[in-house]
């Protein structure tokens, strides 16, 4: 069956509109009655079909008594809901709850993630992540605990049958984030996750030298019903790449990373050796 033609903006708009009706305690028919519309009109507004106006969207949101910030977000999405690719500017720092990323992780079929110098976000321990957030120059201290809760929520999605492959550079095993206990705990957590049935952890060895992933971290998601997308995050923005050519380019990067990575068993053995040596108090040493 061919994948549905949709966009990240369009999916978030539609889900937000459906949630607005549900949160108001209404069915589509009841919402239509409130506005003296046909039920099909509500469906047209929710799906953003042609012929629907921004005013009609606003009327439905008003009838649902949608909170102002959510109302403004959906009205902002409406004109560009069919646009492919989405660069989200967050201001000083990323939002506490990355709504678009969470929404797509929840319905994804496969995930492939690469990180250049740190453990990928979905494989981080709470202690490791706390150290990363505390070291941030932009994240407010009073948001750290809430962000950690969101991190745990994101990680729980890995247990929903999501097929995951994580690529990380060998250097990520050696960078001490927090004290020795945090460092060892993170390596033990990697070993634990690497033993999950649908999780693969692959290490790009330092000996590989220059490689295809040097441009930066990214996460590629595929879906049962939609075309794949790539999600990248910076200090204060997120990019959701959707055009076929661009997504195919990332697929080429993944294939190149796979060629230079250690196997699953070799990667697991490398993590174990690092962990054992740290536990013995010798620290990271040359593996040659």
Q: What was the pLDDT predicted at 47?
A: 80
Whether 247 shows a pLDDT value over 80: the answer reads yes
Bridge partner residues of 89 (DSSP): 237
pLDDT digits 0-9 by tens, 261-279? 999 999 999 999 999 999 9
Q: Is the pTM of this model over 0.85?
A: yes
Q: Count structural domains, the chain.
A: 2
**Structure confidence at residue 4 as a pLDDT band (50, 70, 90):** low
The answer as to whether 285 is a domain residue is: no
User: Could you tell me if 30 and 46 lie in one domain?
Assistant: yes
- 31-65 pLDDT, tens digit per residue, is 999 999 999 989 988 887 777 899 999 999 999 99
Instruction: Tell whether 144 and 272 lie within a shared domain.
Output: yes
93 lies in which domain range? 86-279
116-175 confidence digits (pLDDT tens) = 999 999 999 999 999 999 999 999 999 999 999 999 999 998 888 899 999 999 999 999
Residues 25, 120, single domain; the answer is no
**CATH number of the CATH domain containing 70:** 1.10.260.40
CATH code of the domain containing 195: 3.30.870
Q: Do 100 and 13 share a structural domain?
A: no
| DSSP conformation letters of 152-193 | HHHHHGGGTT-EEEEEEETHHHHS--SSHHHHHHHHHHHHHH
Position 284 in a domain: no
Alpha-carbon distances of 241 from 218, 223, 252, rounded to whole Å = 10, 14, 15
User: Do 71 and 103 have their domain in common?
Assistant: no
Judge if 127 and 18 occupy the same domain.
no
> pLDDT by residue (tens digit) across 209-229?
999 999 999 999 999 989 999
Does the residue 245 lie in any domain? yes
Which pLDDT does position 3 carry in this prediction?
55
- Same-domain check for residues 99 and 238: yes
């Amino acid at each position: 069956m061919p994948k549905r033609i949709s966009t990240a903006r369009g999916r978030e708009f539609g889900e937000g509109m459906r949630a607005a009706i549900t949160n108001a305690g209404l069915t589509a028919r009841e919402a239509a009655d409130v506005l003296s519309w046909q039920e099909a009109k509500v469906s047209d507004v929710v799906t953003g079909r042609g012929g629907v106006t921004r005013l009609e969207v606003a009327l439905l949101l008003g009838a649902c008594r949608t909170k102002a910030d959510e109302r403004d977000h959906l009205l902002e999405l409406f004109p560009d809901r069919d646009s492919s690719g989405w660069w989200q500017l967050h201001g000083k720092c990323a939002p506490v709850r990355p709504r678009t990323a969470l929404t797509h992780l929840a319905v994804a079929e496969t995930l492939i993630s690469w990180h250049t110098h740190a453990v990928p976000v979905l494989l981080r321990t709470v202690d490791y992540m706390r150290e990363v957030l505390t070291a941030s120059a932009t994240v407010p201290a009073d948001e750290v605990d809430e962000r950690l809760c969101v991190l745990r929520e994101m990680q729980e999605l890995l247990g929903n049958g999501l097929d995951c492959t994580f690529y990380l550079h060998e250097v990520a095993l050696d960078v001490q984030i927090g004290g020795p206990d945090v460092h060892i705990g993170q390596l033990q957590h990697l070993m634990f996750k690497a033993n999950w049935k649908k999780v693969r952890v692959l290490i790009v060895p330092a000996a590989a030298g220059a490689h295809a992933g040097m441009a930066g971290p990214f996460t590629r998601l595929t879906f049962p019903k939609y075309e794949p997308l790539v999600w990248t995050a910076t200090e204060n923005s997120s990019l959701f790449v959707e055009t076929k050519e661009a997504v195919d380019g990332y697929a080429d990067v993944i294939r190149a990373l796979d060629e230079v990575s250690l196997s699953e068993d070799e990667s697991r053995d490398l993590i174990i050796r690092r962990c054992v040596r740290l536990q013995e108090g010798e620290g990271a040493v040359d593996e040659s």
